[in-house]
Amino acid sequence: MTRRLFGTDGIRGTANSEPMTPETALKVAMAVGECFHNGAHKHLVVIGKDTRLSGYMLEPALTAGFVTMGLDVVLVGPLPTPAIAMLTRSLRADIGVVLSASHNPYGDNGIKLFGRDGYKLSDELELKIEDHLAKGPIRRAVPAELGRVKRLEDAGGRYIEFVKQSFPRGLRLDGLRIVVDCAHGASYKVAPTVFWELGAEVFSLGVSPDGLNINRECGALAPEQMQREVLARRADIGIALDGDADRLIVADERGVILDGDQLMALIATGLARSGRLSGGALVATVMSNLGLERFLAGQNIELHRTSVGDRYVVEKMRALGCNLGGEQSGHIILADYATTGDGLIAALQVLASIVETGRRASEVCQLFTPVPQLMRSVRFGDGQPLESSAVQRKITSAESRLGAGGRLVIRKSGTEPVIRIMAEGEDEELVAAVIDEICGAILAAGAGTEDAPTRPARLNPAQAAE
């Protein structure tokens, strides 16, 4: 069955347009309540959000839907997505809900759902919710059994302590100068506090949300301001989070950007040296650079690839018994501590490597040279452009020309009507040429309406997770 509402990361759309309307949010909450009703015990839902203005519209609608179905609701306000996953488990809630569109601009919003175990819901459960949504509620709570609502005032403090416990015992950040860009998003209070309480001198950016400035020219998607601040402050490292703080991008003391592939290589080798890399492997997506794969092979670490989306990374990690996985875009999952990508926990693992070695970030964090990798996007309307015989011939030809020393990944975005074409290989001119030819074939088929410029994927890796 095809999913109609859920994409690769929950439900997402333009705020106050379907499906991101109060009416649909209400119905979604009621469908979730119907789906997760299990016996006579009082059910509990945790609802968090980022700093988008539309969160104040959608949060009451979700709350009303859950209360209608007899579920109690705990509101925690603006907190990172991984904080909601943690609190869902900690409070023994039945479901966790995050209102966020991650790295997207303020005009978008989304609904992400976590189960009682703190993991994102499976495709099967999302289909079940959609089925209940189509049928409408079978039952509603009688007046005496309506849910109740309360705010958890210490939610931020709980999460701060949870994150700090992931930092190696006995280590401190004393003497380190850290720039942290919170993207005017959900981490604007908790992120600077975590680093400061561990001893660092912290220079904060993106900590003045106004409902409209989340991810605007800041954060993981636009780290240029963070890079400049690192140089201006003579900082040891810069950390840029996205709007819901489930991913990060790092800059070393020279202002050089380090994406998720470099950070995963660093963490993986550190875990392997200490005998703590479960399964002797890293799980990453098809978008991770071939240079990462080659580097890991040289370290006797296996790389398992998945479809794009951190949920698929987590699913494979659980299936294989691995404790480390992530995406080039900066989602990094450390299963020993968290059930989903957590930018702060991942940042602390990077900082631990710097503290333990006593070396600069530039000496510690860049472990391999990426293979030239380019990505281009074509926006399309109706139809199935990838099924065109002309497009298929270009794809086959490109794979042959790239050969064993290159890779080609073509896929539809999970959040918008866009086809993404990624190619990599030792010959950058060849890589660019095959992408041009495939995009041209899609446009010639009459399906393309907008062609985004070619760019190195690693310079703006957050896009690769859509």
Question: What is the pLDDT averaged over residues 98-118?
Answer: 96
The pLDDT assigned to 7 comes to 85
The CA-based angle 184-180-236, given to 5 degrees, is: 165
The pLDDT assigned to 138 comes to 76
Token pair for 111: 């609904």
| pLDDT tens digits, 349-361 | 999 999 999 999 9
The pLDDT assigned to 448 comes to 52
List the domains of the chain with CATH numbers: 11-153 (3.40.120.10), 159-255 (3.40.120.10), 258-364 (3.40.120.10), 373-465 (3.30.310.50)
The pLDDT assigned to 384 comes to 78
Least confident of 100-109, 130-139, 165-174, 430-439: 130-139
Token pair for 127: 């289909």
Least confident of 35-39, 276-280, 421-425, 445-449: 445-449
| pLDDT tens digits, 221-266 | 999 999 999 999 999 999 999 999 999 999 999 999 999 999 999 9
Mean pLDDT of the chain: 92
The pLDDT assigned to 2 comes to 61
The pLDDT assigned to 453 comes to 43
| pLDDT tens digits, 273-289 | 999 999 999 999 999 99
Residue 456 burial by CB count (10 A; 0-12/13-18/19+): exposed, middle or buried? Answer: middle
Alpha-carbon torsion angle 315, 320, 322, 325, nearest 10: -40
Residue 234 burial by CB count (10 A; 0-12/13-18/19+): exposed, middle or buried? Answer: exposed
Catalytic residue numbers, as ranges: 102
Q: Rounded to an integer, what distance in angstroms lies between the CA atom of residue 75 and that of residue 55?
A: 12
Token pair for 157: 């403090």
Percent of the chain residues topping a pLDDT of 70: 94
Taking residue 141's Cβ as centre, other Cβ atoms within 10 Å add up to: 17
Q: Rounded to an integer, what distance in angstroms lies between the CA atom of residue 29 and that of residue 46?
A: 12
Quick check: pTM over 0.85? yes
